[in-house]
Homo-oligomer: A and B are copies of this chain.
Amino acid sequence: MKIIDATKLTKDLLEEITTRSGLDNSSSRETAEAIISEVKRDGLEAVIQYAQKFDGYKRGNIRLSDAEIADALTELDTRSKNAINHAFKNILAFHKPQKPVDYTVETQEGVFCERRFIPIENVGLYIPGGSAVLPSTVLMLGVPAMIAGCKRIVLVTPASEKIEPAVIYAATLCGISEIYAIGGAQAIAMLAYGVKGVEKVDKIFGPGNQFVTAAKMVVSTDGLGCMIDMPTGPSELLIIADDTANPGFVASDLLSQAEHGVDSQTILLSTSQKVINEVEKELVKQISLLSRKKEIEGCLLNSKLVLVANIEDAFTISNKYAPEHLIINTENARLLKGKVINAGSVFIGQWSPESAGDYASGTNHSLPTSGYARATGGVAVESFMKGITFQELSRGGLEGLADTIITLAKIEKLDAHASAVKQRILQ
């Protein structure tokens, strides 16, 4: 861990604390591009070859049969089902009000302008696999897609043979039945361009490893019409804690972030040297009880424990950094909400660990990393819809706009734009 004294917050120090350990993604991009080219050329065959190579794929069909889905639902234990049901219920309750509202404005007499939200027809949800089993991510993407009303929701996840029952159960709750046991860059290419038996989708959601992320970047910038939710990097947590914070709680939150992997980013900003010292001790104590020691120890090497002069400076740092997750563990934390300008999801007070939001409070855990929280929020219902605008002018309405359109077209030297008005009303 790096202990930093930022009680005199210079510009250089601010830069040092908020600069992320940059990753060179160029080799992932090259690998992803190669896989994508092959899938575009050879279709399903290439998809299966890469699945065999990377995921030990040995299934007959890439798509799960109805019988496989039914078996998984029977196989899953009741306690797991109840937990998934509970999370589903809270996520549904929080996301329902996000459904955007259509409206019409008569901007001037005879000029009616409208915005209508239409669900994206075909969406693809990428659920990581490998060592992880992530029913929570299924819910975080599947619930808003379901509320939006997407006609076709496709789930892809890497597997050698069977997909974990918890993933299938969560998918079923969200009304998803088109599930493929394919992951990696080959799954992204399959979703973006389609292969035999799998129609392409309009937008791809979900986190993944560096190759999945690189593949999402490539397919979303080739001009061929497939979008992605957002660029995703390693997960992040920033905690602001004053001298009232319980060091055991703070340490447990840092550890819950650290176990995601060695490239996770954790920062503690505290006004109390005592809290920082005790958090260090707690980290050592608690880590001995946890299983993902390798990930945690790797991550903590790059962690920063920062002493700040006051809460104002803490928010200056936090807003510049724009963390994916922000925990405000201070007295009257609630009163500090207004100071948050850049963050993905915020946890208020000592009883709000990040893991509550990761799973079950109701908020979404698909959040912007790498500083993108300065520009976007997390996945929401409107991420699965698009606002189409409509305008209907009466003859009188067009007459009322004619001079303005013609004048602007003249300024912009686009006389055919003016002509479309003149043809109609000035003949």
Contact = CB atoms under 8 A, between A and B. Distances in A.
Contacts of A415: 259, 290-292
Contacts of A224: 22, 370-371
B363 A389 contact: yes
B120 A93 contact: no
Contact of A420 (B355, B371, B412, B420): B355
A404 B360 contact: yes
B249 A372 contact: no
A348 B390 CA distance: 7
A374 interface: yes
Given A350-B424, A388-B340, A416-B255, A409 B374 contact: no
B370 A83 contact: no
Nearest to A79: B407
B252 A393 contact: no
Contact of A417 (B120, B358, B417): B358
B97 A103 contact: yes
Contact of A423 (B121, B286, B388, B419): B286
A388 B421 contact: no
B420 A253 contact: yes
A387 interface: yes
Contact of A346 (B322, B342, B391): B391
A105 B362 contact: yes
Interface in A190-242: 202-203, 217, 220-227, 231, 233
Most chain B C-beta atoms within 10 Å of own C-beta, residue among A98, A341, A368? A341
Contacts of A419: 252, 255-256, 286, 289-290
A398 interface: yes
A419 B285 CA distance: 12
Report the interface size class on chain A: 35 or more
A54 interface: no
Contacts of A394: 351
A395 B355 contact: no
A322 B225 contact: yes
Contact of A256 (B248, B350, B368, B414): B414
Most chain B C-beta atoms within 10 Å of own C-beta, residue among A253, A405, A411, A418? A411
Nearest to A353: B420
Interface in A1-38: 22-23, 25
B113 A363 contact: yes
A334 B371 CA distance: 44
A258 to B, nearest CB: 7
Nearest to A110: B351
B376 A386 contact: yes
Interface string A329-370: 000011001001111111111111111111111111000101
B416 A258 contact: yes
A158 to B, nearest CB: 15
A28 B354 CA distance: 43
18 contacts: A25-B223, A79-B407, A82-B404, A83-B411, A107-B361, A113-B363, A115-B380, A116-B337, A221-B231, A252-B422, A349-B393, A351-B397, A353-B421, A355-B421, A374-B386, A377-B386, A377-B388, A380-B387
